[in-house]
Structure 1
Amino acid sequence: MPELPEVETVRRGLAPAMEGATLIKVEQNRPDLRFPFPERFAERLEGRRVLALRRRAKYLLADLDDGTILVMHLGMSGSFRIETESDGSAPGAFHHLRGKNAAHDHVVLHLSGTALPGGENSGRARVLYNDPRRFGFMTLTSLADFETHPLFAHLGVEPVGNSLQPEGVAAMLAGKQAPLKAALLDQTIIAGLGNIYVCEALWRARLSPRRRAGSLVRADGRPTDRLVRLVEAIRTVIAEAIEAGGSTLRDHIKADGSLGYFQHRFAVYDQEGKPCRHEGCGGTITRIVQSGRSTFFCPGCQR
């Protein structure tokens, strides 16, 4: 499943096509994806102008001019494709090949007033949502109900910018007996973190994924130096991954047709058997399974 940097890359690729544009027509080619579409889905979108395209955790959110929010989740195989009069591009960063088989184009957004290069003659473009496995979904909510919506009410802090602070994380980890990696994947603590970037951040902070999460909090509730180091590592890893356009093992195409290259910076993820890159460590990257998911770390320096 695409992680936060990949979803942010998709957002940045779609924004020029969608922000400020009007949804003049919406094609809904099936009744459901992972979940059924809301009633009158296409009708409620048509004629609305997109004020902003933003992200919350791994969700894409299109704010519309009537207070409606179009919520989009990519699932395992979902992707967007932009088509203008002169070109087509696929913004995103993914581990598995994203298809262009029209049979899997389940939603097509016809836009007028797009600012995308190539659409300047007519100001029009199409944004196509393609999802062979149909694990993604789209739904509608309102700005007034957003904070209490079941998808968003319990999401934790974003791991970007100044929102993520050691003191806030300490309050969430205090007393937790769960392994540190499991706690970091808990979306109610930090929203949007996934397996790849948790592994990378733990390596940078030299912390074992098996360490008890609550051990990073002092008896008085203040963060330990280890937790301060971890928070900085998370923010840095996510920022670098976004700047690199996300990660890919097979196919990652951004809006400009270039690839995402953060995978070339992986220190531990998918590096089993390779020497640890920390200077003077001498350890070897190991793979273990935690909660059914692969964890990569260096037992020599991650304590």
Structure 2
Amino acid sequence: MEAQLTQLKQEATEAIASVTTLDALEQLRVNYLGKKGQLSQILRGMGKLSPEERPRIGAIANEVKEALQQSLDQANHQLEKAQIAAQLAAETLDVTMPGVSRPLGRIHPLNSIIDRVIEIFLGLGYTVAEGPEIESDYYNFEALNTPPDHPARDMQDTFYLPHDQLLLRTHTSSVQIRYMEQHDPPIRVIAPGRVYRRDTVDATHSAVFHQVELLAIDRGLTFTDLKGTLKEFVRQMFGEDLPMRFRASYFPFTEPSAEVDVQWKGKWLEVLGCGMVDPNVLKAVGYDPEIYTGFAAGLGVERFAMVLHQFDDIRRLYSSDLRLLQQF
């Protein structure tokens, strides 16, 4: 039995020294030192030894077990170190290598105009409101003093949906109606968003475009308040105090109504439509026109983008041409 233990120690030590993975090392531990391992099988023969030999063989067996366990621990430590070193080598980052270049995004000209308009009116005490782009006939037309037989509908012929008189909104004025239904005066709100009209697409027209409309409702508001508000807006938008003129116009939801022109680089440019809110619109949302008055105005975002950035064709704003967009 002593010879068996000596042979087992030599064989196991050589096997442990040559192992290359932690899984293989665990298999060796089970094979030699497990409950059913080779050492346990040898020790089952202890009962056949004489009482004088048992203590001596038992001591040898303990020495073999301790030696093998020490060899296993050392091999486990070395393999773990080697495994960590290999992982570090595989995951090493060369900080001297140039990084992967990713082009920075830019704000689209239309979004930059909308952001600038919102910033200006927030500074004037207005709140941003939003509403659905698929709108009902009531909110898009009737509540805005434009009944079904009104000729002004021809000016805003749009895309109708075959369900419950729904349509793609022709202006963001519908947002103002929804906001007034849910809030009591005083109100100062702007409504930016995408709108739709069945226009023939050319250099200055598009079937899909963007608007920002403003609405103020309070006691005692007059046309003078409207002119002062728009004058300050134009000054901040164009960066200087430009000459302005108001030309009489017509909108079914304002009375009186006007178009606003500014003198820009020696030419008069139409930039806004505006007016005092029609009493019928106030009645439609439950406001008493004898107590409250208000004004509204609306601008085309594409129009401002074309003027400020000198675009010659509105379609350039939708073409996603990187040669153009990277200039902004």
Instruction: Tell me the TM-score normalised to structure 2 length.
Output: 0.23
Decide which structure has the larger Cα Rg and report it.
Answer: 2
Higher helix share: 2
Q: Structure 1-normalised TM-score?
A: 0.24
